[in-house]
Chains A and B, each alone.
Chain A
Amino acid sequence: MKVAVVGVGCTEFGELWDKSFRSIFLEAGIEALNDCGIEGKEIGAIYVGNMSGGKFIDQEHIAALIADHAGLAEFGIPAVRVENADASGGSAFRQAFMAVASGMHDVVIAAGVEKVTDSVDPMGVLSTSIDQEWERFVGANLPALYAIIARLHMHKFGTTEEDLARIAVKNHKNAVHNPKAQFRKEIKVEDVLSSEFVAEPLKVLDCAPLSDGASAVILANENIARKLCDTPVFVEACTQASDYLALQCRKDLLTMRAVSKASRDAYRIAKIGPEQIDVAEVHDSFTIAELLAYEDLGFAKKGEGAKLIREGEVEIGGKIPVNPSGGLKACGHAVGATGIRQIVELVLQLRGEAGKRQVDAEKALALNVGGTGATAVVTILSR
């Protein structure tokens, strides 16, 4: 059964001090329902991506809470939370996709939500995605592991701190035109290079912020999709792969094997190659993560990712624009909401509703990564 995205919604990402966990979810959900003109009763199931309600806001049983606050518990609509660190959103989308593709449900909602600013140590919570017994124990956190990858990439392939800085600069430039983005302001390469070290060689401006935010999409089977909207966006493939959790267990520290496997599978299912992707939203939790994505998604050869940013190929207007939304770096990283937020952006791009950051695109790819790459979800969408 062909599956389409018919409605999208997203809150502003950022420090949403005056809004609660449940209210931001509702805001995104209502926007998605309005977008495709359904009431909510039509929904067969709810899939919620959320990394750590328990640690961020001391709340578990998130899916039931959401069904309740959305008024959908009234109809008994089943809800389930999906957790895969910061790939929770992408994984929730995949569960929702499979539910419709299998014929089990006709219409479902896939959402993501995270409230991080109410926590005293959000980066500590995010770092629970790495191996606590063998990585965290010795003093590493999430940025430290990405820093180790970055240093090795520089050593082996001649990638420079400036190359990484250019990725942050590009994403900030794109975010200026995204009304939902956390940082709608341009930065310069020098700003990145002169910002404080978080974990050498990565600096503050190489890292995505941790944000509050929610996002939601409505999926429907092809028949219903055509009735609900004039511009359904089809899911051509939605794949997921795993890798060893701890970095030390991976043979090659410079390849995210889960990303290359999930993308190879997705290209095969969608019957296209990486060169046919017109726009991508990738998981730039750190600038080095975006660089690895260029290589592991097949946009560049291994070791040559830096060329794409140096030559402007990943800018809007380039050969393969990456993160027109501003990415995690500048649009913000609302952890469990990020994977769905990427889908929202690509749907807007494919519909031609992305305003000043519009890319001319027929095929789009989203990459959502958990932790240092032990989980990767790749989605290919088409107009």
Chain B
Amino acid sequence: MVPRFWRKIKYRYDVVGSYCENCGSYYYPKREICPRCRRRSKLRDEKFPDEGIILSYTVVNSRIIAMIGLNNGAKTLAEVCADKVEIGMKVKKAFRRYGEEGEAGIIYYGTKFVPI
């Protein structure tokens, strides 16, 4: 399990996604081929905006999980740290702990969002 999370650190911690220089589309999570441009893809990593709005959300296992629309048009699914949220609420990213593999196991960190 270690390598899987190690590989994703850059993308999980900093909301780094893909930008296609050929068509101007943003993708999150990172892609290795642009679905529109196919062989003409010119993808590069790009740090995405820190802010967005809640497009929709649910409460599951006492956590708020929301679909966030980032300011560049890409979407990301993440936990929101708040008591109550609503559709349209502005949020910004925050570095948070997601879980761990048992008491002595690896701790998973990632991006969550908090209300602005």
Segment among A148-156, A157-165, A188-196, A316-324 that sits at the interface with chain B: A148-156
Asked if residues B67 and A139 are in contact (CB atoms below 8 Å), the reply is no
* B16 → chain A closest CB, angstroms: 13
Q: Is the CB of B87 within 8 A of A155?
A: yes
Considering residues B12, B58, B59, B87, which has the most beta carbons from chain A within 10 angstroms of its beta carbon?
B58
In whole angstroms, how far apart are the Cα atoms of A199 and B66 in the complex? 12
Given contacts A134-B29, A151-B87, A253-B67, contact A200 B59 (CB under 8 A): yes
Q: Is A229 close to B, CB under 8 A?
A: no
Q: Please state if B75 and A248 are interface contacts (CB–CB under 8 Å).
A: yes
Which chain A residue has the least Cβ–Cβ distance from B35? A244
Contact between A249 and B27, CB atoms less than 8 A apart: yes
Size band of the B side of the interface? 20 to 34
Q: Which of A138, A198, A201, A202 contacts B77 (CB 8 A)?
A: A138
Most buried by A among B56, B59, B110: B56
Minimum CB–CB distance for B3 against chain A, Å:
12
Q: Nearest chain B CB to A225's CB is how many angstroms away?
A: 41
If A248-B76, A249-B27 touch, whether A139 touches B98 (CB-CB below 8 Å) is yes
Would you give the shortest CB distance from B87 to chain A, in whole angstroms?
Answer: 5
Using known A-B contacts A137-B108, A138-B79, A248-B77, determine if residue A144 contacts B55 with beta carbons closer than 8 Å: no
A141 on the B face (CB < 8 A)? yes
> Interface residues of B: mostly helix, strand, loop or mixed?
strand
In the complex, chain B residues whose CB is within 8 Å of the CB of A137: 12, 98, 108, 110
Nearest residue in A to B59 (C-beta to C-beta)?
A: A200
Which residues of B have CB within 8 Å of A135? Answer: 77
Contacts of B65 in A (CB 8 A): 138-140, 144, 148
B-chain residues with CB within 8 Å of residue A246 when the two chains form the complex: 29, 77
* Closest beta carbon of chain A to B45's beta carbon, Å: 16
Q: Is there a chain A Cβ closer than 8 Å to B114's Cβ?
A: no
Contact B98 A148 (CB under 8 A): no
A115–chain B nearest beta-carbon distance, Å: 26
Are A248 and B98 touching (Cβ within 8 A)? no
What residue in chain B is nearest A250 (Cβ atoms)?
B75
Give chain A nearest CB distance to B37 CB in angstroms: 16
B55 touching A253, Cβ below 8 Å: yes
Interface residues in B49-91 by Cβ distance below 8 A to A read 55-61, 63, 65-67, 74-79, 87
Q: In A195-244, which residues have CB < 8 Å from any B CB?
A: 197-202
Closest chain-B Cβ to A38's Cβ sits at a distance in Å of: 45
Are A133's CB and B98's CB within 8 A? no
> Contact between B63 and A139 (Cβ–Cβ < 8 Å)?
yes
**B43 CB to closest chain A CB, in angstroms?**
14
Residue of A whose beta carbon sits closest to that of B27: A249
Chain B residue contacts of A89, Cβ below 8 A = none
Across-interface contacts of A201 in B (CB, < 8 A): 58
- Within 90-111 of B, Cβ neighbours of A (below 8 Å) are at 98, 108, 110
Across the interface, B67 reaches (CB within 8 A) one of A143, A198, A248, namely A248
Q: Which residues of A contact B108 (CB under 8 A)?
A: 137
With contacts A133-B4, A246-B77, A248-B75 taken as known, whether A140 is within 8 angstroms of B27 at the C-beta atoms is no
- Report the minimum CB–CB distance from B36 to chain A (whole Å): 11
Query: What's the Cα separation between A202 and B60 when bound, in Å?
Result: 10
Any B CB within 8 A of the CB of A66: no
A128 to chain B, nearest CB (A): 15
B8 at the interface (CB under 8 A from A): yes
Q: Which B residues are in CB contact (< 8 Å) with A133? A: 4, 8, 29
Contact A198-B60, Cβ < 8 Å, known A137-B110, A138-B65: yes
Nearest CB in chain B to that of A144: its residue? B60
Write the chain B residue with the least CB distance to A148.
B56
| Contact (Cβ within 8 A) B60 A247 | no
When chains A and B are docked, how far (Å) is the Cα of A171 from the Cα of B36? 40
Q: Hey, which bits of chain B sit against chain A, CB under 8 A?
A: 4, 8, 12, 27-29, 55-61, 63, 65-67, 74-79, 87, 98, 108, 110
**Sample (13) of A-B pairs whose CB atoms are under 8 Å apart:** A137-B12, A137-B108, A137-B110, A139-B60, A139-B79, A140-B77, A144-B65, A148-B58, A148-B65, A148-B66, A200-B58, A248-B28, A253-B55
Closest 5 CB pairs of A and B: A147-B58, A152-B56, A199-B60, A144-B60, A248-B75
